[in-house]
Amino acid sequence: MENAIASIAEVLAKAIAAMLTSLVHNWLPLSLAILTAAVMTVHVNGEKLQAALLKRPKVSILSGIAVGAFTPLCACGTMAVVLGLLTTALPWGPIMAFLTSSPLMSPDGFIMLAGIIDLKFAVAMAAASVLIGIVSGYGTHWIETKTSFLKDQSRISEKKKAEPCGCTAPAAEAVCACAEPAAAAAAPCGCAAAAVDTRFAVPVEGAAFLKRLRLKDILRAIWRVGFKQILFFFALFVIVGFLINYFIPASWIMALFSSETLLAVPLAALIGFPLYINGESAIPLVQALMDGGASPGAMLAFMITGPATSAWVIAGITAFMKKRVIGLYIFFILAGAVALGYLFDLLVMMGV
């Protein structure tokens, strides 16, 4: 009994040491990622993102991909924006493009992937986010315009007519009714400026700059998003990765996930399918598996399905989408993960 306890304590001590070593070794990309996530969490507004997608319907698919792939929205943030989009007249194509690209990439995730694994893997993950968004967005648009497959697939009872500035007409009229003509004309929607009377304001440039910077909010976001989420789960996955390498022989990992195994990519995609994987935090686990012999393509597939198709995400979108559009979403993610995983392995083998 004492020997077993001593062995467990020794393994845990080694795991904690590996975690601390990883934190020390990767402090720079971690710090940059946490700071980027905190700043964008404070200054990127979900309602403004929604309005940006509504301004130009003809390019809204590409806009949805850009917003989804290059903002640090977690699954909950993504669902909030999608829920807002479903209350408008926006078609399914832009919504699907945003929904598929958003969980896969973020600025802080790119920094961590490039700094901890390598730049090639980070670029591949960013490209996967964009490509899956393009295929799913335009594919969904074709299905919606050519068939009735996606008819009545929203659980939102009635979609409202999209307004140019992302707000309903009654609300705009209510605010604009109190506005002076000059103030109303200066506002982007013709109404926002009326809410604030600046005739007697005293400009204080330094204070105004600090207020716009929102340092207190950024510090709170560093603690809430950086330490309680990114850093905590990063440390947890370092320990998990260490335990996998400690207890599972490298030959087993290579047999399951190496580029020489034909089914390695779909197997990795299916393993990631039900798991709740935070892309940034799972990086040390992916690195550990690659160190054990897993192919880059298999790990790319794992990193695509994990954040996008976990049971938590599917349960979330079930609340406001019906089974056909959910099935289409799952199809695009799984097919994209497998196809891009094989393509990435092929490019690596060719030395690209």
Domain that holds residue 122: 18-198+214-349
Query: How many Å apart are CA 311 and CA 148, to the nearest integer?
Result: 28
Phi-psi region of 187 (alpha: psi -120 to 50; beta: other; left: phi over 0): beta
- Answer whether residue 205 is part of any domain: no
- Answer whether residue 254 is part of any domain: yes
Query: How many Å apart are CA 316 and CA 82, to the nearest integer?
Result: 11
- Answer whether residue 6 is part of any domain: no
Identify the pLDDT of residue 54. Answer: 55
What is the residue-level pLDDT of the chain in tens, covering all 352 positions? Answer: 777 787 888 888 888 887 888 778 777 767 776 777 677 667 655 556 556 655 554 567 887 787 777 766 555 556 656 655 665 556 888 888 888 888 888 887 888 889 888 999 999 999 999 999 999 999 998 998 899 998 888 876 444 444 444 444 333 333 333 333 333 444 444 444 444 444 444 444 555 655 666 788 888 888 887 777 767 777 876 787 678 767 766 667 777 888 888 899 999 999 888 776 666 667 888 888 888 889 999 999 999 998 887 766 777 677 678 899 999 999 999 999 999 999 999 999 998 7
Q: Do residues 16 and 242 make contact, with C-beta atoms less than 8 angstroms apart?
A: no
Q: What's the pTM value of the predicted model, to 2 decimals?
A: 0.66
- Answer whether residue 4 is part of any domain: no
Q: How many Cβ atoms are within 10 Å of 211's Cβ, its own excluded?
A: 11
- Answer whether residue 9 is part of any domain: no
- Answer whether residue 207 is part of any domain: no
Q: Residue 198 class from Cβ within 10 Å (0-12 exposed, 13-18 middle, 19+ buried)?
A: exposed
Count of domains for the chain: 1
Identify the pLDDT of residue 169. Answer: 39
- Answer whether residue 8 is part of any domain: no
